[in-house]
A = this chain, B = another copy of it.
Amino acid sequence: MAVGNSPFPVMPPLAGVRLGSAMAGIKKPGRRDMVVIELPASATVSGVFTRNAFCAAPVSVAKAHIERCREQGQAPRYWLINTGNANAGTGKQGLHDAYASCKAVAEQAGVAEHQVLPFSTGVIGEPLPMERLLAGITPALASGADNSQAWQHAGEGILTTDTRAKGASVTTKVSDGSVTINGITKGSGMIKPNMATMLGFVVTDAAIEQSLLDRLLRETVEASFNCITVDSDTSTNDACMLAATGTGAAIEDDEDIAVFRDALQQVMTSLAQAIIRDGEGATKFVTLQVDDAESRQEALDVAFTVAHSPLVKTALYASDANWGRILAAVGRAPVADFDVDRIVIDLADVRLVEEGGRAAGYTEAAGSAVMAQDEITIRISLGRGQESATVWTSDLSHDYVSINADYRS
């Protein structure tokens, strides 16, 4: 199940970027489960990673390799991604396997080991099936191409319980010509990122120096992947990567930075929302907009408290205009000295709550009409300040339980 149509977009080729994939039998036979993304030597690369204390072996290795590349003044040249196995909770063996995977790619591609970054997603705690993974590297490298289909195959090759590949592409004009940003992402459960999402891989042909690229990634992730939640569970493997290949226009002056930032935010937000639209068992795509908070953190706290409430999520699933549950969730948010008389809650354009209780003009019919829709906006004004936050979430359905009672993640 998924909310809305999201056909995979056409992805323009990016010079020097090739995407290969293979069916290595890691997840199950007959489906793409390994992806190799090749970047040119001119690329600059930034990454943000999970804050889960039990971070997976590939997260540790990717961070170490990025560090090493920076020390050596070399570009990370290959992103090696497998699904079907997260290589998390696997201790020393897991680290050994992640390093060995990078080494195998490096040898076949003729780059240094630290120029290969590993990413894994799937079941936690099982050792990586190294024989099958290593056997998949040759065909994955050999299939490398820069066309839109290669991007789509890569998008398919990183999925776990996702029902569809997720991509976004924006081309925008800057002073020195135009730049393109292509991205793919995966994730539909264990989604409450903290610092990054499940897996996101974004590449632009723009030329952007390292510290600016780092900042742009951090800022755009903050308002996209860090503002979505399916089930409040942060994964051990979350990572979002951004590469600027430098083959296209340079992004240097303030105006170009602003234009590029907007385009990048558009790609990031579109990818993040695609995860929620494909949330496990999702039948609704819900936007929580909290306004008039004292701080952005306060606005986020309220939004996530409502977004995580199983009772709100089941009411959304039932298309039940159960505003009492929204009110109860807002009321238990970790905010000191709430003045409930100042809180206003709207369901789309229908006022639910004001002056501490049900809004005078509210009718069940009006509320139900909104709740029957697939895409719903809940707007909560706290009446305390000027800050806002927007969070996206899905509902809690029978299918969510089925998927997670059946699937070993």
Interface residues of A (CB under 8 A from B): 51-55, 86, 88-94, 123-125, 189-190, 192, 194, 231-236, 308-311, 314-315, 317-318, 320, 322-325, 327-333, 335, 338, 340, 353, 355-358, 396-398, 400-402, 404-406, 408-409
| Number of copies of chain A assembled together | 2
Look across to chain B and name the residue whose beta carbon is closest to the beta carbon of A403.
B314
Q: How far does the Cβ of A154 sit from chain B's closest Cβ, in whole Å?
A: 25
Using A89-B358, A90-B358, A314-B405 as known contacts, list a sample of 4 further A-B pairs with CB atoms less than 8 Å apart, ordered by residue number in A: A53-B338, A89-B327, A189-B311, A190-B311
In angstroms, Cα B142 to Cα A262, docked, is 71
Q: What is the distance, in angstroms, from A207's C-beta to the closest C-beta of chain B?
A: 37
A386: min CB distance to chain B, Å: 21
How far, in whole Å, are A17 and B86 apart by their CA atoms in the complex? 60
> Chain B's nearest CB lies how many Å from the CB of A347?
13
A265 to B329, CA, bound (A): 29
How far, in angstroms, from A55 to B402 measured CA to CA in the complex?
Answer: 35
Assess A235 versus B86: contact at CB under 8 Å? Given A317-B401, A404-B310. no
- Which B residues lie within 8 Å of A52 (CB)? 328, 331-332
Establish whether residues A54 and B315, one from each chain, have CB atoms under 8 Å apart when the complex forms. Answer: no
Q: Provide a sorted-by-A list of 8 A–B residue pairs whose CB atoms are within 8 angstroms.
A: A51-B332, A53-B330, A54-B356, A93-B357, A125-B358, A190-B311, A190-B328, A320-B405
Q: Which 7 A-B pairs have the closest CB atoms?
A: A124-B324, A91-B357, A54-B331, A53-B338, A318-B405, A314-B404, A125-B324
